[in-house]
Amino acid sequence: MDVEQVDFEEAASRLYAAPAADFIAIRNELAKQLKAAGDQLGSTRLKALRKPTVAAWLTNLVARERPDQLDDLLALGDEFREATADLDGERLRELTPKRHKLLDQLAKEANGLAEREGQKVSADVGQKLRETLDAALVDPAAGEAVREGRLSSALRHVGFGVVDESGEPSNVTPLTDERRQRAQDRRKASKVAEESAAEESGSAKAAREKAEREEEAREEAEKTEAKQEFDRAVAAAEAAEATVDDLDSQLAEAREALEQAHEAVRRIDAELTEAKKVARDAQKESREARKRYNRL
């Protein structure tokens, strides 16, 4: 791979676009490039990315190769949520066949893409792909994660949220009921403000703008808190990596010292053997000299 300047986002996109068999090697190489460019944080984050399962790899491939059809699916999810919020049963019955049709089309496209890449799609992988796409339709956070094209595990929507292939809660960021309600309230407030803009007094407008600024400040505080938590996690990972590097150095030095000790033992043993031989020869010569002396 050619050495070139890359940032974390570009490296992550390139990594998840690579063949699954080359994931580890490419991740290590890109992490080295980021570190060499002075981006230690990006290097650490990249090394933490997990190799995708076959179903996740296939979903990422669909996200890259069929973005328009995926957008259609996510837009349909918005329609489902609106109809559900309005308790519009007739609309939901109209949307359900479209849901199945889009899932079928994307599953068929995915099979063709996988065949092009030389990857066989088992029935289990095909089912997990459909579950992931359906989770993207149902859950907005899952939809954004699928659109990003960097999944490491397939997703499945269950009664309480989205889980990965092991059944554990996924790492997509769900919209809490409180944040979802605030988003709905903001949309309603915006619509009311537009309808009554001509009649709105200066004081009412100022109050509305103040409320919007306060809401933006709350959201910014939430983002800041999340960023601080992420920075602490990264700092812990970097400290652990430094400890590993230090222990590796100590182990290498200990191995070198042990090899030198082994060499000294071998040398001393050879010298001892030679000394014993010389001693035996000297003793033999002494005995023969004594015999000669006694015969005189």
Non-local (6+) Cβ contacts of 11 within 8 A are 30, 31, 33, 34, 42, 46
- pLDDT higher than 90, residue 269: no
Higher-pLDDT residue of 275 and 26 is: 26
Is residue 134 within 8 Å of 162, Cβ to Cβ? no
What's at 172, amino acid-wise? V
Side-chain-side CA neighbours of 206 within 13 Å: the count stands at: 3
Mean pLDDT within 13-35: 91
d(CA 218, CA 215): 5
| % pLDDT > 90, the chain | 42
Quick one: how far is CA 146 from the chain centroid?
Answer: 13
Q: Mutual orientation of helices 123-138 and 54-65 as an angle, nearest 10°? A: 60
**Distance between terminal CA atoms of the chain?**
89
The pLDDT, as a whole number, for residue 27 is 94
pLDDT in tens, 89-141: 999 999 999 999 999 999 999 999 999 989 899 999 999 999 999 999 999 99
pLDDT in tens, 138-166: 999 999 999 999 999 999 887 666 777 77
- pLDDT higher than 60, residue 182: no
Domain parsing of the chain, residue ranges: 8-47, 54-163
Note the maximum CA span of the chain: 144
The whole model's pTM is what? Answer: 0.56
